[in-house]
Structure formats: C-alpha cells, structure tokens
Structure 1
Amino acid sequence: MTHLERFHDVPVLVCAAEGAAIGGERDALDLIGDAGYQGARWVVVPAERFADDFFQLRTRVAGHVVQKFAQYGVGLVVLGDISRHLEASSALEDFVRESNGGRQLWFLRDREQLAERLRG
C-alpha cells in the first residue's frame, strides 16, 4: 500500500510498513512505476520492508535497487532504524554516509528528518 504526500511541494510516494519485502530489481521497478504514475520524485520505504540482503553489500542487492531508481530519476529513502545492520558492517556505515551526502539515496531516521532534507 502506498500513498502520495507532499513535503515542501515535493511529491513523495510513501510506502506502508506492512507489505512484501523489497528484495531486488523487480520490486524496485514496481515502486518506480507507481511513483511515475503518481508523479512522485521520491519513494520512501520503511527500513523493515527491505530484505536483509539489501543491507549486506556483498550481495549487491542495494546496488541493483539503487541503480534502477537512478536510471529512472527517482530518489529512494530508506526510513527508520537500521542500527542492527550498521553494527554488523563498517562498509554499510560508509555506504550510508556517502549516500546521505548525495541526492539519490538517503537513509533517514524519521519523517521529520525527511521533511528537513526536502526543505532545501
């Protein structure tokens, strides 16, 4: 289940916490299609919706998912607590830090942080 919201006039497709796991490119394409249909520039997915493989960089799932979003010009936000994944991987910590410095993929704690990022 998804719905469109606006944060500072930026259209954002927000996914519900309940639902199938996001585990690969096909899932990414489904979200991108929904975003395009609704006119969203960003897709927000709760962290718990991602399969654990997404957070294990050696699997390359995150890379494939993010690449699809980049190809279609849609930003992706992983929203929520990913601390257990960060504790298990310094490489993931680096990936998150680097991603949060860009304009394609953000790992954010909550909706307030998202609103702040989209403000500017």
Structure 2
Amino acid sequence: MAKIAKSEVMRRAWRVYRLSLAVRFDRAAFADCLRQAWADLRQPDAPVTPWEVLQRYTVIPRTLPRGEVITRLESALRVAQGRAAQYARATAPRSWSAAKHRSADLIRVANIEAIVRAEKAAAGLAA
C-alpha cells in the first residue's frame, strides 16, 4: 500500500468539512470528515472530486470506482447539454426568472464538463 501524506489527508478533511456548510467548528463533525478523508485516500480508484460536489449533479454512491463515476457524469452532461441546446433556438428571456434558469442551466453544463475533465485527468484518460 502506498504511503499517504498526512498533509493531504488534512487538506481533504478540511475541504470536506467546508463543503458540509458547518456554521461553527464541531469536533465530532470534523472527526467524521477526517475519517472520510482517510477512507477516500486509501481507495486508489476513488474520484478526485469531493462526494458532496458529485451529488449536486448526479446520484453517486461513495463506493463507486472512478470509471463508473465518469460514465454517470458523462450521462448527466449529455442531459444538461440537451437542455442547454434548447436555448440556442430560443429568443432572449422575457423575465428575470427565465434568465436566471437559463444562466443556471448553462453554468451546470460548464461545471459538469470541468468535473469530467478532472476525473479523466486523474484516471489518465484523454479529455
């Protein structure tokens, strides 16, 4: 088993803790984040993107290997691109609400593309 740097474990634990949106520091919550960081780094085929971020775009169990995560993200990307393609044929939004939804859909496509690129780079695949 490869040696795991403690600094990397702590960085990942703090990143997971910040993503949990905790208002005040809680030792028990940080301990859970630290356990999760150790588990994530021990599993060599784990996704590089934090699990909480992946959950925003598609349903992914924690134990899923990186290859399956990439497959599910590519599927979510195709769906998001299809939704965003509707805006190419549409006229300018008539209300602020329509503009907000249009912007959110376009940003969703960009975010999923960035995550897929990062996961493929970590897997050594061509983006």
Range of TM-score over shorter length: under 0.3
Whichever structure has more helix as a proportion of its residues is 2
Whichever structure has more strand as a proportion of its residues is 1
| Larger Rg over CA atoms | 2
